[in-house]
């Protein structure tokens, strides 16, 4: 099996954007490396009295547009290269969304399901303390990512309050309601992906009505994408999680499936499923819309040829490798790229951060409306650029999204005198 290094993939995508925009090698060199990468070792006293040592990172990719912004993931396979790639993708995502942020990302190499709640708390606080010199309301603002949630953000926030002797609500987003968070942040990534898919469906078919959908991954992003797509008339016929997937040809009820996952640990126990499938099989189903909502590198040159969906909306970061994308583009499959399709999370994070700094300003209804509008506008901006400025037989939507995103970062670097 070919293994894929997300950092190499991210650099390939950057290289393509640099060529498309006709920028010099020095711009590539500046953007190919993170400005700063911190590695920390985190000893944690376990419940049984033993000590386990974990490794964590924070990558600060680029700050031309503002403070670094991006989540922290807890995953057994996370490494420095993955975190760097994810931080680079955040730079493009934040730039494309028009946010006043650069890109950053953090990670700890850990399987959080193997830790007790108290062990997770000690690990989270120790990690944040270890990176506390680098983060700050105007320096670097972490948030949730894979297997981290509002509870973990609360521990981050508290660790920072202890170190800095101040209650800096804006130092981390994705917090729970009682600590300055917003309810809408929970739904934001999946809801945003559903909005992006809806806008794409309008362009392709006039709307979502009756379109079949398969969703890989049933965490926060996958579940809410499924929920809103179903609510807006699409038929979600397959979903999966790390233990496997299910098919319900007549369409499943995303809330019912979520309940089953919460109660039994996996979507595979959903009683109305007619068939169990693997994660690989889910990707190759004959559906209209495919939503990869798990991790990177699931659509590669090994399976791209077998993908039958007409539209792919990337809720995950980096699910499609550049080599796979060449094949998808040749097949005429439209990919709404991650930096566009999953920006809902960080767009909502920005609203939360502004709200924190103003001591409360926006209602949940206003926040959700803003998020929806911004996602739809962003989609249309990229779509129009793609259709009007690029040769669509040669370039795909990701090329358009990258061109807009990289160009904005480069303009900011020029203004600052970096290049």
How far apart are CB 194 and ligand GLU at their closest, in Å? 15
C-alpha distance across the termini of the chain, in Å: 41
Closer of 240 and 349 to ligand GLU (Cβ) = 349
The interface with ligand GLU within residues 122-161 (CB under 6 A) comprises 143, 145
Tell me the closest approach of the beta carbon of residue 317 to ligand GLU, in angstroms: 5
- Residue whose CB is less far from ligand GLU, 212 or 356: 356
For ligand GLU, the binding residue among 184, 220, 240, 317 (CB under 6 A) is 317
One character per residue 246-285, x = contact with ligand GLU (rule: CB under 6 A): ----------------------------------------
CB atoms within 10 A of CB 87: 31
Give the residue with the Cβ less far from ligand GLU, 141 or 400.
141
Q: How far is the CB of 375 from ligand GLU (least distance, A)?
A: 13
Work out the angle at residue 214's Cα, subtended by the Cα atoms of residues 213 and 217, and round it to the nearest 5 degrees: 135
| E strand map for 203-361 | 212-216, 235-241, 244-247, 275-277, 289-292, 311-313, 334-336
Instruction: Give the CA angle between residues 255, 258, 263 to the nearest 5°.
Output: 130
Closest approach, Cβ 142 to ligand GLU, in A, equals: 7
Cα–Cα distance measured from residue 281 to residue 276, given in angstroms and rounded to the nearest whole number: 10
Using CB under 6 A, pick the residue from 56, 67, 70, 322 that binds ligand GLU.
70
Interface pick for ligand GLU out of 16, 349, 355, 396 (rule CB under 6 A):
349
Is residue 56 within 8 Å of residue 125, measured between CB atoms?
Answer: no
Q: Which one of 57-65, 67-75, 194-202, 280-288 is the stretch in contact with ligand GLU (CB under 6 A)?
A: 67-75
Q: Which of 255, 200, 247 is nearest to 223 (CA)?
A: 255
Distance of CA 344 to the CA centre of its chain: 9
CB of 189 to ligand GLU, least distance (A): 6
Segment near ligand GLU (CB under 6 A); pick from 10-18, 69-77, 111-119, 163-171: 69-77
The residue at minimum Cβ distance from ligand GLU is 71
Q: Give 174 or 180: the residue with its C-beta nearer to ligand GLU.
A: 174
Decide if 105 is catalytic: yes
71 touching ligand GLU, by CB under 6 A = yes
CA distance 199 to 415: 34
Min dist CB 175 to ligand GLU, Å, is 11
And the tokens for 95? 């730039």
Is 184 near ligand GLU (CB under 6 A)? no
173 binds ligand GLU per the rule CB under 6 A: yes
Count of residues binding ligand GLU (CB under 6 A)?
Answer: 13
Closest CA to 338 of 105, 68, 119: 105
Q: Report DSSP state, residue 71.
A: -
Q: Which pair of structure tokens corresponds to residue 141? A: 């603002």
Cβ partners under 8 Å of residue 288, min gap 6: 201, 205, 211, 212, 213, 234, 309, 310, 311
| Interior angle at CA 184, CA 180 and CA 385, nearest 5 | 120
346 binds ligand GLU (CB under 6 A): yes
* Active-site position among 105, 175, 227, 374: 105
Name the minimum Å distance from CB 232 to ligand GLU: 22
Of residues 76 through 105, those in contact with ligand GLU by CB under 6 A are 93
Give the CA distances from residue 128 to residues 136, 156, 164, 236, in Å, rounded to whole numbers and listed in that order. 11, 6, 12, 39
Q: Looking at 69, 109, 374, 398, which residue binds ligand GLU (CB under 6 A)?
A: 69
Active site residues: 105
Interface positions with ligand GLU (CB under 6 A): 69-71, 93, 143, 145, 173-174, 317, 342, 345-346, 349
């Amino acid at each position: 099996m070919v293994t894929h290094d997300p950092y190499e993939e991210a650099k390939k995508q950057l290289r393509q954007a640099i060529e498309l925009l006709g920028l010099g090698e020095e711009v590539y060199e500046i953007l190919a490396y993170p400005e700063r990468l911190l590695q920390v070792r985190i000893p944690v006293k376990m419940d049984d009295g033993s000590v386990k040592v974990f490794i964590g990172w924070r990558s600060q990719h680029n700050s031309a547009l503002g403070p670094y912004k991006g989540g922290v993931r807890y995953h057994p396979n996370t490494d420095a290269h993955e975190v760097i790639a994810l931080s680079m993708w955040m730079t493009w995502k934040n730039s494309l969304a028009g946010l006043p942020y650069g890109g950053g990302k953090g990670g700890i190499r850990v399987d959080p399901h193997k830790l007790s709640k108290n062990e997770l708390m000690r690990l989270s606080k120790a990690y944040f303390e270890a990176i506390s010199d680098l983060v700050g309301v105007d320096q670097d603002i972490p948030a949730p990512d894979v297997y981290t949630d509002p509870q973990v953000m609360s521990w981050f926030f508290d660790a920072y309050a202890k170190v800095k002797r101040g209650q800096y609500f804006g130092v981390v987003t994705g917090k729970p309601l009682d600590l300055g968070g917003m309810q809408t942040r929970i739904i934001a990534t999946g809801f945003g992906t559903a909005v992006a898919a809806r806008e794409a469906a309008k362009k392709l078919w006039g709307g979502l009505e009756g379109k079949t959908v398969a969703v890989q991954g049933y965490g926060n992003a996958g579940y809410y994408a499924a929920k809103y797509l179903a609510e807006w008339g699409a038929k979600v016929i397959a979903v999966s999680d790390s233990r496997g997937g299910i098919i319900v040809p007549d369409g499943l009820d995303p809330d019912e499936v979520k309940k089953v996952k919460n109660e039994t640990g996996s979507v595979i126990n959903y009683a109305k499923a007619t068939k169990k499938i693997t994660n690989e099989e889910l990707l190759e189903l004959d559906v209209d819309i495919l939503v990869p909502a798990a991790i990177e590198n699931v659509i590669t040159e090994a399976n791209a040829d077998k993908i039958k969906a007409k539209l792919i909306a990337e809720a995950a970061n980096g699910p499609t490798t550049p080599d796979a994308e060449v094949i998808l583009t040749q097949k005429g499959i439209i990919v709404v790229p991650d930096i566009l399709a999953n920006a809902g999370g960080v767009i909502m994070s920005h609203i939360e951060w502004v709200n924190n700094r103003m001591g409360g300003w926006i209602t949940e209804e206003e926040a959700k409306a803003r998020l929806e509008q911004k996602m739809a506008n962003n989609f249309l901006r990229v779509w129009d650029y793609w259709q009007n400025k690029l040769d669509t037989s040669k370039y795909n939507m990701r090329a358009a999204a990258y061109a807009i995103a990289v160009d904005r970062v480069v303009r900011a670097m020029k203004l600052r005198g970096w290049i």
